[in-house]
Amino acid sequence: MMNIYLSNEQGKLEEIHELKNGCWVNLVSPTESEIRYIAEHLNIPIDSIKDALDDEERSRIEKEDNHVLIIVDIPIITYDEGNIPTYETIPIGMIITNTCFITVCLQENPIFEEFTKSKVKNFYTYMKTRFALQMLYMISTYYLRYLKQINRKTSEIEKQLHQSMQNKELFSLLSLEKSLVYFTTSLKANNIVMERLLRLNYLRMYEDDQELLEDVIIENKQAIEMTEVYSSILSGMMDAFASVISNNLNIVMKFLAAITIVISFPTMVTSFYGMNVPIPYQDKPYAYLIALGISFTLSSITAFVFWKKRYF
């Protein structure tokens, strides 16, 4: 899918149907014909567009004669078979030419929607350097947003694990830990790209652009630190709660064993009175009450002892 946008004289974003100077070309899972159209009309290599469509592509920045290619990883939310959200990363490509700004991605994502729905302040398609920096800032913002969601999800699972005897919650924690590994790898790769962008003269930047890039790097480093902290916490929680689940099971088994012992006394006493051998007071009319009293006394004493020892 290909969409072309252009900021008008009032600064509002409009969708157009042909390439114009200062426009933004947004390619989301584009077809071969769309890729060839953009490559031919803007005189850029097809590989520069297709590289961002490889989900294993590494983050990098390259400068060619007539364009600059920036590839970074963005966070996305996916859902498994049980409709449980998981977090992954996919590459996004930004190609900055003399006339247009091109973005390439495998799928729709909320980061593009922030721009298409005009939620970003001071956004103009023809200010290509600032557009790239605003895109990088929005990516770092979404990493922080998803990290907070992961932290809240971890707290919810922690509450469930206090009473859990199943592995479902541990698998959920494992999924979150895997997401944090993806985030850590992608954020560190993105940070290298931003440092190179700051250090090398890939894009022409004014003083405001320089400050914005520094803010982006700060946000990205904060996301890296948060990811490492959450990953360390999750790793410790998984070890701790694996022991908790095992301990919960032991408590249940102990409770069931105590109940079994308590209710075994009536069976034992009545079995004595059911034997075909002489038993004291077996001919008395109140023999049944005697058996019942002995059973109740033994069960009560045993239950009291177990209660004092906190077996219940």
72 and 204 belong to one structural domain: yes
231 and 272 belong to one structural domain: no
What pLDDT sits at residue 275?
A: 66
What pLDDT sits at residue 163?
A: 66
What pLDDT sits at residue 9?
A: 74
Q: Are 194 and 270 in contact (CB under 8 A)?
A: no
178 and 288 belong to one structural domain: no
Residue the block writes with tokens 């177990």: 306
68 and 195 belong to one structural domain: yes
CA–CA gap between residue 240 and residue 169 (Å, rounded): 13
Domain boundary among 223, 246, 269: 246
Domain span at residue 295 reads 248-309
What pLDDT sits at residue 89?
A: 93
CA–CA gap between residue 269 and residue 287 (Å, rounded): 12
Domain boundary among 198, 218, 246: 246
Cβ neighbours for 136, distance < 8 A, ≥ 6 positions apart: 72, 190, 194, 213, 216, 220
273 and 236 belong to one structural domain: no
164 and 252 belong to one structural domain: no
166 and 182 belong to one structural domain: yes
- The SS3 call for residue 115 is helix
Domain boundary among 246, 267, 298: 246
What is the number of domains present in the chain? 2
pLDDT digits (tens, 9 = 90+) for 58-83: 899 998 878 899 999 999 988 776 66
What pLDDT sits at residue 255?
A: 84
122 and 220 belong to one structural domain: yes
Strands 101-105 and 24-28: parallel
What pLDDT sits at residue 172?
A: 80
CA–CA gap between residue 71 and residue 61 (Å, rounded): 6
91 and 186 belong to one structural domain: yes
Give the residue among 305, 169, 294 at the shortest CA–CA distance from 241. Answer: 169
Give the residue among 51, 62, 67 at the shortest CA–CA distance from 101. Answer: 67
- Tell me the residue type at 186: S
45 and 26 belong to one structural domain: yes
Q: Against a cut of 0.85, is the pTM above it?
A: no
Chain centroid to Cα 215, Å, comes to 24
Regions of the chain where pLDDT drops below 70: 81-83, 162-167, 272-277, 279-282, 312
CA–CA gap between residue 251 and residue 249 (Å, rounded): 5
Q: What CATH number is given to the structural domain containing 111?
A: 3.30.460.20
60 and 48 belong to one structural domain: yes
Q: Are 135 and 161 in contact (CB under 8 A)?
A: no
Containing 122, the helix (H) or strand (E) segment is none
- In the structure encoding, which two tokens stand for residue 46, read together? 């097809």
CA–CA gap between residue 43 and residue 66 (Å, rounded): 8
What pLDDT sits at residue 166?
A: 64
Question: What are the φ and ψ backbone dihedral angles of 29, each rounded to 5 degrees?
Answer: 45, 60
Give the residue among 59, 54, 85 at the shortest CA–CA distance from 139. Answer: 59
281 and 211 belong to one structural domain: no
What pLDDT sits at residue 32?
A: 92
